[in-house]
A and B are shown apart, each in its own frame.
Chain A
Amino acid sequence: MRSAITVSDLVVERGRRRVLPGLSCSIAAGAVTGLLGPSGSGKTTLMRAIVGVQKVRSGSVSVLGEPAGSAGLRHRVGYLTQSPSVYSDLSVRANLRYFATLYGVGRGEVEQTLDDVGLGGAAGQLVRNLSGGQRARASLACALVARPEVLVLDEPTVGQDPVLRYDLWRHFNRLAAEGTTLLVSSHVMDEAARCDRILLIREGAIVADDTPDGLRESTGTRDMDEAFLRLIREQEKGRV
C-alpha cells in the first residue's frame, strides 16, 4: 500500500486536554479511508493537523511527502470543515467560482461540481437561504471543485437524506478510482461499508486500521456499531 499521508507520534493539546496523545497512522493513496469514531474522539483535530491548521505539540504529519500545511500542498489538498464554511451572502455558484479561481480551474468545473453534489437547481440561490443539508453540500462542492489530489472531508454526509448519501459516497468512490486520496470522517458506523479502508479512533487513539471485510472477520460481526463495541471490549480486557 502506497501511503499519501503519514502521521507519526502526533500529540495535540486543545485547551488543557491532550486530545491526541501520540497518534500514528498512514492513509493509503488512491483510496477512500473512513475515519470513524464517536463524537469527541479527535477526528476533527486529526484532520485539522493533516491540513495544517492545528497547532501541534509534537510529532509529524506529512502529506504527499511534504510537511502538512506547507505552501506547496495548498493547491493539492482540499479540505471540508465540519461546519459549513462558505460565504452565506453569496450564491452557491459565486462561492464555487471564487474557490475555482483560487485554484485556477475554469467555469466548466464549477457547473460539473454543482451537478456532482446535486445543487444544479439551487446554484443561483444565496447560501443563507439554503437548507442545512444543501449548505453542507455547497461547502463540500468548494472542496471538490479543484479536483485536488488529496481530499480531507470532515463529516460530509451528515444531515443528508439517504439518496444523496448514496450518491455522494458513489462520487467519492469514483474519485478514488481515478486516483484521488480521500480521508472521510463520520460518527455513523454504517458508512464504513463504503470505504476501502477504515480507521477507528477512540479518545485520540487508533483502535483499528483495516478493510471493512477484515474488520468484520476479526470481530465476527457484520454490524459496524457492534464491531466497534467488540473491539473496545477486547482492548479493555487486554489492558486488565
Chain B
Amino acid sequence: MSIRITAATTARILRQLAGDRRTIALILLVPTLLLTLLRYVMDSAPMIFDRVGLVMLGVFPFISMFLVTSVAMLRERTSGTLERMLTTPLHKLDLLLGYGIAFALAAAVQAGLAATTSYWLLGLDTAGSPWLIGGLAVANAVLGVAVGLLLSAFATSEFQAVQFMPAVVLPQMLLCGLIWPREEMAGWLQGASEVMPLTYAVEALTEVGAHTSPTNTMWLDLAVVLGVALLALILGAATLRRRTP
C-alpha cells in the first residue's frame, strides 16, 4: 500500500465521476429536491418533517453511494481493468481506499448541499448540530461504498447490481423504525432490525435530532456503522481475487 497510489486511485475515480455530468447532477440535486418535496408534503406538520427529513438527509448518501459504487466496481470487474490493476504495484487496499475516499468526498458535497438547503430554506430544526448530521451522513456514505464494493462481487451485470438496491436497502428502510415504531413490529422483525446497520444509522440521526450534545447512544451507533463498513471492506477485499480460473 502506498499513499501515492491511493491518492492517484482516488483522483482517477473522481475524474471518471466528473466526466459524467448527468450523474453528478443527479447525485447533487436529487436529495435536495426530494427533501423539498417532503417538506411540502408535510406542510402542516413541520415537527414530523424535522424527524423524517433529518433521517432522509442522513440516509440518502448511503443509498446513492451504494448505487454508484456497486456499478463502478462492477464495471471495473467486468471490463478487465481490475484483473490488470492487480498485476501492477497497486495494492488491493489502495483500490478499496480509493473508492472509499472518492465517494465519501462526493457524499460530503451531496450532504452539504442538502443540509444547507434543509436548514436554511426548508426550516429543518434539530436540537443537535448540523455538523454532526453532516458527519453521520458521510459515515453512512462510507457504509454504502463498502457494501456496494462487496455486493458488486455477486452481480454479473449492471441490471443485477442496480436490483441489489431495493433488495438490500428497502427492507432496512422498512425495519429501521422510520416508517413504523420498531417496538410494535412482530418479534422476529425486531430481531432482524437489530442486525441491520441502517437501524443504527437512523438511531444516531434521531439522537442528534433530539439532544443538544452528542449522546453515548449516538457514538455507539456510529461505531456500529463504521464497524460494519470495515467488515464489508474486509469481505470485499477477499472478493478481489488476483488469480481467477
Contact = CB atoms under 8 A, between A and B. Distances in A.
B15 interface: yes
By size class, the interface of chain A is 20 to 34
B135 to A, nearest CB: 31
Interface stretch (B84-92, B109-117, B144-152, B175-183): B84-92
A55 B80 contact: no
B217 to A, nearest CB: 43
A184 interface: no
A75 B84 contact: no
A53 B90 contact: no
Contacts, number: 73
Contacts of B242: 52-53, 69
Interface in B3-33: 4-5, 8-9, 12, 15-16, 19-20
B8 A79 contact: no
Given A74-B87, A102-B90, A87 B12 contact: yes
A86 interface: yes
Given A86-B81, A87-B81, A101 B87 contact: no
A53 B243 contact: yes
Contacts of A103: 88-89
B203 interface: no
Given A54-B244, A55-B244, A79-B84, A102 B8 contact: yes
Interface in B64-100: 79-81, 83-90
A126 B244 CA distance: 29
Contact of A90 (B4, B12, B83, B244): B12
B151 to A, nearest CB: 22
A99 B244 contact: no
A90 B79 CA distance: 14
A15 B245 CA distance: 8
A99 B245 CA distance: 25
B86 A53 contact: yes
Contacts of A102: 5, 8, 85, 88-90
Contacts of B88: 74-75, 99, 102-103
Interface of B: 4-5, 8-9, 12, 15-16, 19-20, 79-81, 83-90, 242-245
Q: What are the 3 closest A-B residue pairs judged by CB atoms, nearest first?
A: A85-B80, A101-B8, A85-B84
Given A15-B245, A53-B87, A102-B5, 19 more contacts: A13-B245, A52-B242, A53-B83, A69-B87, A69-B243, A75-B88, A83-B80, A84-B80, A87-B81, A88-B79, A89-B20, A90-B16, A94-B12, A98-B12, A102-B85, A102-B88, A103-B88, A104-B4, A104-B89
